[in-house]
A and B are shown apart, each in its own frame.
Chain A
Amino acid sequence: MNILTILLAGLISGNIVLTRFVDISLLRNLKKLNVALFVGFMMMDVTLVSGLVFYGFYHLMLVPSGFAYLGFLSAIMIIAGVSQLEAWMIKRFFPNWYEQYSFYFPLINTNAVIAFVLMTFVNPAIGWWDVLVTSLAVPLGFVMINVLMVIYQERLEKTSRIPQPFQGLSITFILLALVAMALIGLGGL
């Protein structure tokens, strides 16, 4: 698969939030633009590093030794280790960012988006280059939807026309459903 195909699939036609509903509850916690962007890019970073580590560990160690069924468990442990390491590095080298965003680090430790991406790497047809691009494209799709929802919610809070039962979570899901239906039309790309 070429890079453009993987990027478009990650962003639009195969968007992980809209087509697979992965970690949709995280959208409720990230309500500010700066937080959404920071967590999104941390996720991209952790996905890239843990994706490369997991791909090598799975195909070079687990599969040859007959322990392929331990893939999911090893993916969780690798994600936890890499995210803890990155949290430590941010605390060491960027203490201001750590102070501002440390509340959101546990959201990355047990992040289903990263685990979902890693589980797609168990396919033997995928190469290192695909791993690299997918690790960037899929979290970028998550960031895109998150930023979209933050902007929508900011605009909706300013309007008083929404009936009370629709406010909050319900209008968010209806909006996501409409965005998903719109993006289905781009699936032919």
Chain B
Amino acid sequence: MKAFKEAFQQEHLVLSLGLGLFIFLAGSQSLTTAWMMSLALWINVLLSTSILFIIRRYLTEDYKWIFIWLVSGSVATMVTMLAQAFVPGWVVGIELYLPFIALSGVILARVESVVLIELKYQTIVLNALGSGLGFAMLIIPMGIMVEVLGQGTLSFASPMLNGHLSPWFEWTILPEAYRIPIFEGSLGAIGILIVAALWIALVRQIRGQRL
């Protein structure tokens, strides 16, 4: 549970240190893309760390990075192809970005720890679950915020691209005149999210000092 908690809390490194920001920003365009990106990240972390756990005894120091890139790149390619085959409706807009999960700091940090440190498989699985959940808890609210404030709608696409299937839900939240342009892309939204997080931390610090 400690491994799960640590991995879950560490995903806030996305905001404080900027690890995995590329996939975070690319995926937080809407609720659907945020959901798909967090699901893809979770599967990538789980599979990559599992495969490297099996082969780690045979990796030498000189060649470990080649195998890390080979494994994470292969898993990312496989996950992208499976997603395009089975849930194409969820992949619209992010199919170009899904393979790049293999190059994000989030994945590379996890897989390197599997290779360098002797861990039990149970710890690795809990770590992967924590990473995925922590990432999802950041990216999904961010996706909702970007979609609602930037586009004025909130929708969740059907996983199949079949034109006869309508989205699972589609609500218009804000009229067009009230949409905020800076939220249309994720850059402004993440800046404001970080401001809000730091402001809350600052207020807590001041209250703590007064007590």
Contact = CB atoms under 8 A, between A and B. Distances in A.
A177 interface: yes
Interface string B149-167: 0000000000000000000
B21 A25 contact: yes
B103 A112 contact: yes
Contact of A20 (B26, B74, B188): B26
Contact of B191 (A21, A22, A112, A177): A177
A24 B21 contact: yes
B198 A25 contact: no
B73 A21 contact: no
Q: Which of A25, A111, A171, A172 has the most CB of B within 10 A?
A: A25
A115 B25 CA distance: 17
How many residues of B sit at the interface, in one of the four size bands? 35 or more
A56 B198 CA distance: 49
B187 A70 contact: no
Chain B interface, >50% SS class: helix
A165 interface: yes
Contact of A25 (B22, B102, B188, B194): B22
Interface in B162-211: 181-182, 185-188, 190-192, 194-196, 198-199, 201-202
A110 interface: yes
Given A25-B19, A28-B18, A165-B199, A77 B69 contact: yes
Given A70-B77, A73-B77, A76-B73, A170 B202 contact: no
Interface of B: 15-22, 25-26, 65-66, 69-70, 73-74, 76-77, 80-81, 96, 99-100, 102-105, 108, 181-182, 185-188, 190-192, 194-196, 198-199, 201-202
20 contacts: A21-B22, A21-B187, A24-B21, A25-B19, A69-B81, A72-B73, A77-B66, A77-B69, A80-B65, A80-B66, A109-B65, A110-B108, A112-B103, A116-B100, A173-B194, A174-B187, A174-B188, A177-B185, A178-B182, A181-B181
